Amino acid sequence: MEPMIDKTQFGNITISGKRYEYDVVIRLDGHVEKRKKKLSKVKYGTSHKISLEEAEYIYQEGAQELIIGTGQVGYVQLSGEAEEYFNEHECPVKLLPTPQAVRVWNVLEGKVIGMFHVTC
């Protein structure tokens, strides 16, 4: 996939040579933006559970898949409402620890969105 993710470690992710020290969303067109984790934190008190509101923000019409890097050791999960939302939009979600999600992202093809949590 483009952009290529160079590496990740606790607290950061490097994408096409640029280092980000926060969670990111990679859009269908390859644009990288900061994750709006406050959408989930307001509802659950943590950014480790993705809310419906954040799911609506992450999703893009036409996406065939969503890869979620769940953190360096894998704490992030979908809420039931978020899971249902992605199912309704026929957008399968792969939840993988961020280092593994990076490897999967780099070999995928098609219309894929990525969300990568860089801590926990």
Domain assignments of the chain as residue spans, ordered by start: 5-116
7 has pLDDT over 90: yes
Beta strand segments in the chain, E = 5-9, 12-15, 18-20, 24-26, 32-34, 49-50, 65-69, 77-78, 93-96, 112-116
Burial of 80 (0-12, 13-18, 19+ CB in 10 A): exposed
pLDDT digits (tens, 9 = 90+) for 19-69: 999 999 999 999 999 999 999 999 999 999 999 999 999 999 999 999 999
Stated pTM of the model: 0.96
Look at residue 1 in the predicted model and tell me its pLDDT: 85
Homologous superfamily, domain 5-116: MTH938-like (3.40.1230.10)
115 has pLDDT over 90: yes
